[in-house]
Amino acid sequence: MELEHILVIDDNIITTTKLRAMLSQIGYTVTEKNNPLDALRWLRVPGNFPDLILLDLVMPQMSGEEFVRQVRADPMINYLPIILLTGSTEVEDKVAGFEAGADDFLAKTISQTELEVRIKSLLARTQSLRTRHSGPEATVMSVFSLRGGAGTTSLAVNLSVALAQLTQEKVPLVDLALTHPHCPLMLNIKPENALSTLVNWDDSVMDADTIEQLLVKHKTGVKLLPGTLSPLEAELVTPGVIDRVWPYLRAKYPFIVVDAGRELTETIITVMERSQKILIVLAPDLASLQTATDAIKLLRKLGVDPECIQPVVNRVFPYEGLKEKFIEQILGEKIIAEIPHGRLEFVNAINTGTPVMVENPRSKVNQAINALAHKLGASKLNTEDNSVDTPSFFSQARKLLNVA
């Protein structure tokens, strides 16, 4: 079960550190901010939704009362419960705080026991309100293979395009093949910033506009988020860097596709733990089958939900290769899709920087990836939506997926 999240705001670092220790011991996730202006910016980034705000009444940059007024005036966050901390005993201060919209007042000298009781009580009273405001989050699809040459990047790029075409929505493609980033090449994009550049950016500038500037728009509806500008920057992209953009992406978009590359690093493991779909790409040969088996075993040991693990056979060579039933028997997993051989199509797509889904929309490869996109996103797709003008697509998809 996910821990409830408390945002603590106080200009005194000692106070926020003390409160973090107390709240963590109680069992909450804590975010600290020592500047109320930074805290407001953080709150206005979609996805950064704490369950409760605990803030000081008196701060130099902005008073607690004014902070409460600004939160209550913002329809996106005005439902959040707020507790003001004060060292004052003046009734007037409490009255002003309540008039601004605060839910409760606590003395700064409060004990951990009373703090726990007051927070739990307020969270219980506001549970239904918070539930109504918590919107749907993105379905995250990570595409991974321990073996190079399986077509991981090609599948990630074209799956992103297929989802964008199918939903008529923007789809972020996060390139986490950090030591060999080829998504920009396949989309004919030359990025100027990447996740690796965030290490030099202050948290105070990480608002929605800044994150959107990192996303490079493509004409297909894909928004590329590069991981690195150079393989030498790979070590800069840590789980902490991912955390700076992840809440926004999860709240803003219906789908996120991740090119997870072929290295099982701490960053990749972190993203996979947050993925609803993990596509293990393999060619129909023994070497690929062995690495796919190893990858699935590792993911299971890491506690990844087995239902999230979904193998995809990519026929990267023209001859038949291993049979589907044999592959499923060895993997212990049902194959979710099989991409037919299309080497010439993929080579031309890479050389021209035009995805297969755009270059050859009637090919068997295109149909297979479209069918996969529909299957993966079925829970969020409305097949009766007239905005998706593909009357024959769904019959093709059902045929490929053996769906009546």
DSSP string, 145-171: -SSTTS-HHHHHHHHHHHHHHHHTS-E
B/e letters for 56-84, b = 16+ CB within 10 Å, e = fewer, are bbebeebbbbebbbbbbeeeebebbbbbb
Helices 91-100 and 64-73 pack at an angle, to 10 degrees, of 20
pLDDT of residue 277: 95
Res. 332: pLDDT tops 60: yes
Give mean pLDDT, residues 239-265. 90
**Pairwise CA distance, residues 39 & 59, whole Å:** 12
Task: For the beta carbon of residue 208, count every other beta carbon within 10 angstroms.
Answer: 16
> Which amino acid belongs to residue 350?
I
The whole-angstrom separation of Cα 98 and Cα 117 is: 20
The rounded distance, in Å, linking the Cα atoms of 249 and 173 is 10
- Lowest mean pLDDT: which of 149-158, 200-209, 337-346? 200-209
Inform me whether the pLDDT recorded for 392 exceeds 70. no
Q: Are 238 and 267 in contact (CB under 8 A)?
A: yes
User: Does residue 337 sit in helix, strand or coil?
Assistant: strand
Question: So what CATH class is 5-133?
Answer: alpha beta
As a whole number of angstroms, the distance between CA 121 and CA 143 comes to 43
Q: What is the mean pLDDT of residues 187-209?
A: 87
CA–CA separation, 53 and 280 (whole Å): 40
- Quick one: pLDDT band at residue 382, thresholds 50, 70, 90? low
- The whole-number pLDDT of residue 205 equals 72
Among 61-65, 76-80, 258-262, 358-362, which range has the highest average pLDDT?
Answer: 258-262
Amino acid 46: pLDDT? 66
> So what's the pLDDT on residue 398?
44
331 pLDDT more than 70: yes
Q: Residue 156: name the closest of 177, 170, 129, 138 by CA.
A: 177
Q: Domain 139-400 belongs to what topology?
A: Rossmann fold (3.40.50)
Provide CATH 3.40.50.300 ranges for the chain.
139-400
Give the per-residue pLDDT at 2. 65
pLDDT band for 222, please (50, 70, 90 cuts): very high
The conformation of residue 197, written as its DSSP 8-state character, comes to G
pTM for this structure?
Answer: 0.73
pLDDT at 12: 93
**Is pLDDT at 404 greater than 60 in this prediction?**
no
Report the distance separating Cα 334 and Cα 184, nearest Å.
32
**Tokens coding 125:** 């009273």
Q: What residues contact residue 104 under an 8 Å CB cut-off, 6+ apart?
A: 81, 82, 83, 84, 118, 122
SS3 404: coil
Tell me, what's the pLDDT at 389? 41
pLDDT over 60 at 49, yes or no: yes
| Range(s) of the chain covered by CATH 3.40.50.2300 | 5-133
**More confident call, 64 vs 88:** 64
pLDDT in tens, 90-134: 777 778 888 888 999 988 888 999 999 999 999 998 887 766 666
Side-chain half-sphere of 299: how many Cα atoms within 13 Å? 32
- Find the mean pLDDT for residues 233-253: 89
Region 54-76: mean pLDDT is 89
- Mean pLDDT over the full length of the chain: 87
Task: Report pLDDT for 361.
Answer: 80
Residue 1 has pLDDT above 60, yes or no: no
Rounded percentage of the chain residues whose pLDDT exceeds 70: 91
Mapping DSSP to helix (H, G, I), strand (E, B) and coil, where does residue 92 land? helix
